[in-house]
Structure 1
Amino acid sequence: MSHASLQPIHPHLLATTHAQKVLVIDDVEMNATLIASVISTLCEVQTATSGTEGLQLALQYNPDLILLDVLMPGMDGFELFRRLKSEPRTAHIPVIFLTAISDMSAEEVGLNMGAADFIAKPFRTAVLLARVRNHLELVRQRHLLERLSHSDGLTGIANRRYFNTMLSREFSRMQRQNQPLGLVMIDVDDFKAFNDHYGHLRGDECLQLVAQAIAQCLQRPGDMVARYGGEEFVCLLPNTPVSGALKLAHDIQTAIAGLQMPHVQAQATDFVTVSMGVAAATPQEVPGSHQLLALADARLYRAKRGGRNRIISED
């Protein structure tokens, strides 16, 4: 394995970190601007000065946290909160209520509705900063747990469960748009023999290198690679006809060959190789996503039986 080494995880493998975003909604523009200036050291900030504008920005901006004034003309904070929680795209966003109301019942109402916190105005700068910081950290931890639940522990790429979710989602999206969905099923040739000869630690490193090489061949943000099981991987390629999926398969074949990982037990060459099955179709051409996956898998099986280190893209 001296010719190949692990490199830093490629951006396609895991979701990249981003600056956290907060939306401040207060009908008094001076208040919104002041709050934004206080918390701007922690995050990106957008402001809105009405409930209607706040709802629109929440949908467009997709903030990690919302600071929401209760007393606003027209749509007040409580009504906006109800609308945010009834909208699937914003229901998950934590909301901190801001209010000058001294009545404790208002705080009780807000918290019982599901607000993350309640800050009384006038606020102390240090308290506002601390609470926003704490809630942003909770959001960051939640996102991290979500990413970890979607990732394969060994390779860092998507796991099978997440792939299945995305396959179903993309198939439905391609159905609405009448666009082709491409799949490339990939299997490391003679991997059991590799493990038996070189040991399981080398086997793990082999899978990590293969996953990394595949991920680095993906050029579009919407494309993804997942570990499907054992030594098997799969690429999901929205808006991709069979010609595009086949080109990616050839790129992957070249990338794996470039790793020059010795494999003296291999049947095809003296190095690690992969076999691939390629399929692509519009959702109108196949009855469901599982049938498209089965087609790619059947072609992979034929590639394995045909001598390994090859690509099959047609019946």
Structure 2
Amino acid sequence: MKKILVVEDSSIVMKVLKHVLSNSDIFQPVYATSFAEAKSLVEGKAEEFFAGLIDLNLPDAPNGEVVDYTLKNGIPTIVLTGSFDEDRRAGLLAKGIVDYVTKEGRFSYEYALSVLERLIKNQDIKILVVDDSDTARRFIATLLRIHLYQVLEASDGVQAIKLLLDNPDVRLLITDFNMPRMDGCELVKNIRHKYEKTDLVIIGLSSEGERSLSARFIKNGANDFLRKPFQHEEFYCRVSHNVEFIELIESIRDMVNRDDLTGVYNRKYFYQHGFSLLEDAQQKSAPTSIAVIDVDSFRLVNEDYGNEVGDGVLKGIADELSALIAQAHFTLARTGSNEFSFVMPGLDAEKALSFTEKVRQILCSSAINVGEYQIPVSCSAGVSTSSSEDLDSLVKNARECLQRAKEAGGGFVLGED
């Protein structure tokens, strides 16, 4: 859980904040009602705090001293204030606060919570900033780092393309127009040969006076355009909007790849992703193993308890398998009605058999709880290993091993002879 410093002297506002934060299971709020109390909590322990929700005016800090203190200690700060003041807001944003929230009702506090949640997600978002002006580039990079984004910088389009190739996990690119060697529109056009709009978001920037420049950027493949100079909050809103667009697309893609009943990956994804893993391992001359695990006599579960309980057993097995397979960073999928498969890149036959047997033992060590029932399960598995065969052959061999295990009575793992 992320520790959050909450400083607020109003008992009514504090009550609302506590209620809003109580609905979150990712934050551990630590409360203070004065500047002195906040300092006692932070002194020597600033690195423990992920962020702060800080009241701008306190009895012992009427001029925002507590905000200066949290910023000085490197705590990302969301300011809470009872009244909106344009000059004060601009000054605080220039100092490097994350956001400025006016206490106007419950929605304001829920918005502040959403900003905190956004900060957590931002830590996994990598953004590339492209601008030949060191001052302009560093300014934008600083704004992004305040919101905890990972930031890469390039001084022109050629360097930007090299950085993209070295960092395929970049999710958003922000580029100026007027640059040497390759202007922003040319950069966008070149990037779109490799990256779709749903894979890499591009925001164009320019202070040029040409009114059609925004259209040029968009027509060449940019997702958005922002004219300089811009307001901090406008910049953050555009970035957040586009990042959330990417996340929405990824969420939809992930849903398509998931099994409706169990939530693990489906057969289609298993073959698509498994092929890539196998190809990568073969290029490195490394072995790849496939395990196919199946519930013994699952038909009897449906006959004795009904299909709804049977579905519950499969969900329970999938949850247990997911936890076990995730620890090893392998890929798990439901590949049959009561069959699950996982790919183990880099594991030879002996290690793959040992790992799969441990998984089977843990899976079968306790009953699956489904409503009022506790259903004991027995599982069998087959394992196939190769450094040269294709995925279909590996899966076929693993299923043959599984079948032999079942014919021998079940309840164990069998590999290739």
TM-score, length-scaled by structure 1: 0.84
Secondary structure of 2:238's match?
Answer: helix
SS of 1:67's partner is strand
Q: Give the corresponding residue for 1:85.
A: 192
2:312 and 2:280 map into 1 onto residues whose CA distance is 36
User: Which of 296, 319, 323 is the matching residue for 1:216?
Assistant: 323
5 Å matches for 1:102-117? 102-117=209-224
Partner of residue 343, structure 2: 236
User: In 2, are the aligned partners of 1:85 and 1:92 still within 8 Å (CA)?
Assistant: no
- Report which structure shows greater RCO (CA 8 Å, sep ≥6): 1
Which amino acid in 1 is paired with 2:313?
C
1:50 maps to 156
Deviation at 1:86, TM superposition (A): 2.4
2:270 maps to which residue? 163
Distance in 1 between the 2:215 and 2:245 partners? Answer: 22
Residue 179 of structure 1: SS of its match in structure 2? coil
What does residue 13 of structure 1 align with? Answer: none
Cα separation, 1, equivalents of 2:243 and 2:369: 47
Whether the 8 Å CA contact 2:207–2:229 is kept in 1: the answer is yes
**What is the distance in 2 between the residues matched to 1:57 and 1:68?**
13
1:150/1:161 contact within 8 Å kept: yes
Is contact 1:85–1:91 with CA below 8 Å preserved after alignment? no
Partner of 1:20: 125
Q: Matched residues in 2 for 1:124 and 1:174: separation?
A: 48
Confirm or deny that 1:298 pairs with 2:400. Answer: yes
The Cα offsets for residues 73-130 of structure 1, whole Å up to 9 and x where unpaired, read as: 1222122223322235999311111011221232222111111011111222222122
The structure 2 residue matched to 1:226, chosen from 310, 321, 333, is 333
> Which amino acid in structure 2 is aligned with residue 126 of structure 1?
E
8 Å contact kept, 2:125–2:171 = yes
Count of residue pairs brought into register by the alignment: 290
Q: Which residue of 2 aligns with 1:281?
A: 386
Deviation larger for 49-58 or 163-172: 49-58
The alpha-carbon distance between structure 1 residues 115 and 134, as it changes in their structure 2 partners (threshold 3 A), is: same
- The answer to whether structure 1 residue 205 and structure 2 residue 312 are counterparts is yes
Report if the CA contact (8 A) 1:59-1:89 is conserved.
no
- Cα distance in 2 for partners of 1:111, 1:293 equals 46
Q: Which amino acid aligns with 1:55?
A: I
Percentage of pairs with the same residue = 27
> Is 1:35–2:133 an aligned residue pair?
no
1:264-304 Cα deviation digits (max 9, x unpaired)? xxxxxx93111111110111xx3x22111111111111111
Q: What is the deviation of 1:241? A: 1.2
Distance 1:135 1:262 in 2: 42
SS in structure 1 opposite 2:333?
Answer: strand
Stretches of structure 1 that go unaligned for 5 or more consecutive residues are: 1-15, 264-269
Per-residue deviation at 1:44?
2.8
CA distance in 1: counterparts of 2:416 and 2:304, whole angstroms: 34
Q: How does 1:168-179 map to 2 (within 5 A)?
A: 168-179=275-286
1:245 to 346, 352, 355: 352
Which stretches of structure 1, 4 residues or more, deviate above 4 A after TM superposition?
88-91
1:170 maps to a residue whose letter is L
Could you list the per-position Cα deviations for residues 120-144 of structure 1 after superposition, in whole angstroms to 9, with x for gaps in the alignment? 1122222212211111110111111
**Greater share of strand:** 2
Identify the residue that residue 150 of structure 1 maps to in structure 2.
Answer: 257
Cα distance in structure 1, aligned partners of 2:132 and 2:401:
61
* Gap change, CA 1:305 and 1:97, over 3 Å in 2: same
Shift of the 122–88 alpha-carbon distance from structure 1 to 2, 3 Å rule, reads closer
How far 1:187 sits from its partner (Å)?
A: 0.6
How many Å apart are 1:262 and its aligned residue?
Answer: 8.6
Long gaps (5+) in structure 2:
1-119
Aligned residues: CA RMSD: 2.4
Equivalent in 94, 97, 101 of residue 201 of structure 2 = 94
- 1:272 is aligned, of 377, 395, 410, to 377
1:67 deviates by 0.8
Give SS of 2:316's match: helix
| Equivalent position SS for 1:115 | coil
Displacement after TM superposition at 1:153 (Å): 2.4
The correspondence for 1:67, drawn from 159, 164, 174, is 174
- Cα distance change on mapping 1:179 and 1:155 into 2, 3 Å: same
- 1:91 and 1:212 map into 2 onto residues whose CA distance is 30
Looking at structure 1, the residues matched to 280 and 196 of structure 2 have their Cα atoms a distance apart, in angstroms, of 17
